[in-house]
Amino acid sequence: MGTYVPNTQAQREAMLAALGVAKVEDLFCNVPQEMLVGENLDLPKGLSELEVRKKVTAMAAKNRVYDTVLRGAGAYRHFIPSVVKSVISREELVTAYTPYQAEISQGILQSIFEYQTMICELTGMEVSNASVYDGGTAGAEALAMCKDRKRTKAYVSATTDPNVIGTMQTYCFGSGMPLEIIPAKDGRTDLEALKAALGADAACVYVQQPNYYGNMEDAHAIGEIAHAAGAKYIMGCNPIALAVMETPAECGADVAVGEAQPLGLDIAFGGPYLGYMAATKAMFRKLPGRIVGQTHDVDGNVGYVLTLTAREQHIRREKASSNICSNQALCAFAAGVYMTAMGADGLAQAAKLSMSKAHYLADELAKIGLPRIHSGEYFHEFVTACDKLEAVLKALDDNGILGGLPVEGGILWCCTEVVSREEIDRAVAIVKEVC
């Protein structure tokens, strides 16, 4: 069997002797003895590292790694600079836990403070937390932030990622907060329907930018409608797009959230990812989860601590607004390193490259009979019609290309900066042969 227990049999016996007990089982004297599993534990025999490596590697080998990925829909394969993985594999960062002891945790605390600053810069918002689990839970937590005694109902646009809506619905099933979905029109939030829906109990309106179909929403207009009805405005934004598009702050958002996986995290079959949350100063005490603040020590040196902790579950217990404890700290660290490596220019370049390539792909597909089904501006994703959906995706698959995702009305395609023009031309040629 494999083991990570350092003590030898002799040492264990010496320790037992010091305790004055004959065998370690005697220490389990409070356990009703009839409950002990003993030999009945039906697990395979433990393995050596070599055997485990072979076994798990064989599982990984059963998955298919595509050369070219033209699919996004909530998980994006962007370029990850080498420095990101190098930094976040440092043992200190990997093996530490929540920085409860500030004096020996300044590295993590400062990294979170820097991450908070970068998220504020990216979103234009005034305050960021230290992260939550992912974009979906960030969205669900944002709805809860906006609830008060008089305003209890949340509204979310149908153009939001269905996974995010699904998570929101589950959270609302728990809390009892009503959640209404505002219909879409031509791949965008139906503004008239939104205006008509908002009542006196409207707590918030959630809109994704760019939306699930890649389309740019009229974010200003939605914010104005939300505020006119006395509701808070939440924007769920792609962080790469934020390098170039109008910020949630510029659009009047009260809360900005989103999935930060594109900031240097692997797609990794869906996780671990990173939920970011930021808010205006007026809302910052409603932010869930950990927040790091700057302060100084007894000698006057600048230092960082977990702060505003009385909002959180370990102090406020049943009165806490959220139960979050562990978050995605190492992922936030990675995002911080990624944003540092990219810089504002690099991030804007990644955004422009992604967008330009997506437009090139859309134009080429349109030429061969797969037109976009929506009008108006889009970022790095778009939906095309496709009569031979299965055949198209299969032909691409046969050539090592993961095509777009089948959605209502056609295929949802995505390009990021890692896709070259040659790859796009090749994919289009394959589609052309089928269609």
Reduced to 3 states (helix: H, G, I; strand: E, B; else coil), residue 228 is helix
Q: Phi and psi at residue 281, in whole multiples of 5°? A: -60, -35
| Nearest residue (CB) to other proteins, 199 versus 376 | 376
**CB nearer to other proteins: pick between 196 and 329:** 329
Residue 67 in 3-state DSSP?
coil
Residue 154 to residue 140: CA distance in whole angstroms: 10
Distances (CA, A) of 223 to 128, 201, 208, 209, 227: 20, 17, 12, 12, 6
Please list every residue from 59 through 78 that binds other proteins, using CB under 8 A: 59-66, 69, 71, 73-75, 77
Alpha carbon distance 57, 50 (integer Å): 11
Whole-number Å distance between alpha carbons of 75 and 402: 13
Q: Is 95 in the site for other proteins (CB under 8 A)?
A: yes
Name the residue nearer to other proteins (CB basis): 81 or 252.
Answer: 81
Rounded to an integer, what distance in angstroms lies between the CA atom of residue 158 and that of residue 208?
Answer: 9
372 secondary structure, DSSP code: B
- Work out whether 230 is an interface residue with other proteins (CB under 8 A): no
Residues touching other proteins: how many (CB under 8 A)? Answer: 202
Subset of residues 118 to 147 that bind other proteins, contact rule: CB under 8 A: 118, 120-122, 124, 126-128, 130-131, 133-137
Phi, psi for residue 248 in degrees, rounded to 5: -55, -40
Instruction: Work out whether 317 is an interface residue with other proteins (CB under 8 A).
Output: yes
Give the nearest distance from C-beta 229 to other proteins in angstroms: 20
For residue 220, the number of C-alpha atoms closer than 13 Å in the C-beta half-sphere is 3
Nearest CB to other proteins, comparing residues 204 and 258:
258
Provide long-range contacts, Cβ within 8 A and 24+ apart, for 25-30: none
Stretch of residues binding other proteins (CB under 8 A), selected from 184-192, 223-231, 366-374, 420-428: 420-428
Among 245, 365, 370, 427, binds other proteins (CB under 8 A): 245
Name residues contacting other proteins, limited to 9-48 (CB under 8 A).
11-12, 14-16, 18-19, 21, 24-32, 35-37, 41-47
Residues of this chain, 169-228, that bind other proteins according to CB under 8 A: 169-171, 173-176, 216, 219
Query: Which residue type is seen at 366?
Result: A
| Strands of 89-132, DSSP E | 127-128
N residues, the chain: 435
Among 145, 258, 259, 384, which residue sits at the site for other proteins (rule: CB under 8 A)?
A: 259
Nearer to other proteins, 221 or 385 (CB): 221
Whether omega before 210 lies within 30 degrees of 0, making that bond cis, reads: yes
- Decide if residue 372 touches other proteins (CB under 8 A): no
Minimum gap (Å) between residue 392 Cβ and other proteins? 13
Cα of 8 vs its chain's centroid, Å: 44
Query: Residue 190 or 397: which CB sits closer to other proteins?
Result: 397
| Cβ proximity to other proteins, 228 vs 268, nearer residue | 268
Binder among 107, 230, 252, 409 for other proteins (CB under 8 A):
107
Does residue 319 belong to the site contacting other proteins (CB under 8 A)? yes
